[in-house]
Amino acid sequence: MNTSLPNQWGSNLQRAQTHQPNWDSYVVTKVKHVRAAMLSGIDTFNAEGFTIPMATGFIELSGMRAGAFRTFLKIGFAESHRTALPSFELVDNSAIGTLILPAHCFGSALQLANSPTAHFRIGGDGRHNAMATDVALLSAALTQTSDVPEGIEIGFANTR
């Protein structure tokens, strides 16, 4: 008896004909290895083409392979409020996402990265690169931008 399931496991991860990850729709992977450096905040840090001005920290996450690509999320930390936008690129056989976050986030990010359930998301133009301790939190539905009418604040509603 053959029955087809409407949402088969992994159906959103690969393109049907090529069996390659769909990088335009972002790919989520489990963190395998974490490298980190705490820095002075005085100098510019460069990690294989990823440059962080006035860097206070750096975390590199290595993930599971996605098709033929090794996956990486490189996170820089800086005091400067003028930071670069997140990015994503395929270089040789590596898929590399980047983020630059405020310096005060370094300790929290390092703790998240070292969690046994840590996952990260990379792809697209990099805007939605992220890390979480629960793969469900990286669902694209949670990070879609919405059109909020002007004058309405986003946050918790007071139910009193």
The answer to whether residue 4 sits within a structural domain is no
- Cα separation of 144 and 82, whole Å? 24
Q: What is the mean pLDDT of residues 62-87?
A: 89
pLDDT computed for residue 141 by the predictor: 54
pLDDT at 99: 93
Structural domain includes residue 114: yes
What confidence score (pLDDT) does residue 49 get? Answer: 84
- What pLDDT does 19 receive? 67
Total domain count for the chain?
1
Which residues fall within 8 angstroms of residue 93, CB to CB, at 6 or more apart?
68, 69, 70
pLDDT in tens, 91-144: 999 999 999 999 999 999 999 999 999 999 999 999 999 999 988 888 755 555
The pLDDT tens digits of the residues spanning 11-66 come to 455 555 556 788 888 899 999 999 999 999 898 999 888 888 899 999 999 999 99
Residue at 159 is within a domain: no
What CA–CA distances, in Å, run from 26 to 20, 49, 71, 128, 154? 12, 22, 12, 8, 25
Task: Tell me, yes or no, whether 34 lies in a domain.
Answer: yes
Q: Is residue 59 part of a domain?
A: yes
Is residue 16 in a domain?
no
Q: State which residues form the domain around 36.
A: 23-142
9 within domain boundaries: no
Is the pLDDT at 151 greater than 80, yes or no? Answer: no
Asked if residue 160 belongs to a domain, the reply is no
* Residue 79 pLDDT grade (very low, low, confident, very high; cuts 50, 70, 90): confident
**Among candidate residues 16, 37, 31, 50, the one with its CA nearest the CA of residue 121:** 31
pLDDT over threshold 70, residue 9? no
